[in-house]
Amino acid sequence: MTAEQTHTYLPRPGCQAYPAYVSWLALNASPADAILALTANFSTWGGYCARIAEGLRHHYGFSDEACAFFDFFAQPSPDLDAQATAAVAAALESGHLETDLAHTYGRLLQAYEAMFWNSLRKTP
């Protein structure tokens, strides 16, 4: 972007909702509920990334270097999964997991993420 474009840029509201909601979860949700919702969302995100990388290669001839961002997030993260599993197990054992809330948080994350991508696709 040029300096002029930077000064006149207006953020798309639909692109702001998802990161704002993730911030809200960090501040307001119990850690275990947020972890459960975010872990499920991250798994879905990894699937999106794998399909995007495949499509970019197959349909547009993108190189591995050009797809590196998507390849990175498409890979499972065993360490992250193990940490999330341990945190959720500890919350379950101590009675500090609200599965209804975690489900609601996860559903909202998916909706806000869809809003993000749909907002990117629309012209300003």
In a domain, 5, yes or no: no
In a domain, 44, yes or no: yes
In a domain, 109, yes or no: yes
Per residue of the chain (124 residues), what is the pLDDT tens digit? 899 988 998 889 899 999 999 999 999 998 889 998 998 888 888 998 999 999 999 999 999 999 999 999 999 888 988 998 998 899 888 887 777 888 999 999 999 999 998 998 876 5
User: By the 8 A CB rule, do 37 and 21 touch?
Assistant: no
Q: Please tell me the pTM assigned to this model.
A: 0.75
Note the pLDDT of residue 40: 86
Note the pLDDT of residue 92: 86
Q: Structural domain tally of the chain?
A: 1
In a domain, 12, yes or no: no
What residues make up the domain containing 55? 30-121
In a domain, 75, yes or no: yes
